Structure 1
Amino acid sequence: MSQKRYNQEFKQIIVELYRSGTSVSQLASEYGVSEVTIYKWIKWLSPIEVAKEITVADVDAIQKENLRLKQEIEKKKKIMTIFAKKR
């Protein structure tokens, strides 16, 4: 059995319909998506409540760390390519 793939826009529409009052069971039967999947989308697309305020400085630090990690991954990929060619 193959998995169905749904784009982000479709998922967002289903979640918005749920938030506007349509039941999950009705959405599942109308759009042919399992209830479990819809509940996962609702959880995934719901805002996260944070215990403290996040500052711009916090976001900036996270973005810098993310960039550093991406660069590190790219370096490792290049190194692996070089070693793979030497074999």
Structure 2
Amino acid sequence: MNTKNNAKRYNDDFKSMVVDLYHSGSSVKDLSSEYGVSNVTIYKWIKDLTPIEGISDKEITPKDVDAIHKENLRLKQELEILKKAMVIFARK
């Protein structure tokens, strides 16, 4: 049985445009009715795409923080694998 995902997919440019309009003074309610996107979705985009001040005056979004966190976990796992391999090869 095939079930299609009926969720709409929006590209990053569209999301950024909606968030920029929000920051320029448009209300979420107005944006929602104008572009046919739910309020909850727009609030999620605002949360994900609104930059926060980082180190050295660089802006970073919560989405960037999540990506950095995932990369950090992956690197830690790789390091553990390499440590175990080093022990195995040191015995030989």
Give the TM bin, normalised by the shorter chain: 0.5 to 0.7
4+ residue runs of structure 1 moved beyond 4 angstroms?
none
1:26 equivalent in alignment to 2:36: no
Give the letter for the 1:26 counterpart.
D
Gaps of 5+ in 1: 55-61, 73-87
Corresponding residue number in structure 1 for 2:20 = 16
The root-mean-square deviation of aligned C-alpha atoms, in Å, is 2.9
Larger RCO (CA within 8 A; separation ≥ 6): 1
So what's the TM-score if we normalise by structure 2?
Answer: 0.54
Q: CA deviation at 1:46?
A: 1.0
Give runs of aligned pairs for residues 2-81 of structure 1, distance below 5 A: 2-50=6-54, 53=55, 69=75
Gaps of 5+ in 2: 57-67, 79-92
* Secondary structure, counterpart of 1:6 in structure 2: coil
Q: % of aligned pairs identical?
A: 66
Q: CA deviation at 1:37?
A: 0.2
* Secondary structure, counterpart of 2:52 in structure 1: coil
Q: Which deviations, in whole Å up to 9, do the C-alpha atoms of 1:6-56 show, x marking residues without a partner?
A: 000000000000000000000000000000000000000011345xx46xx
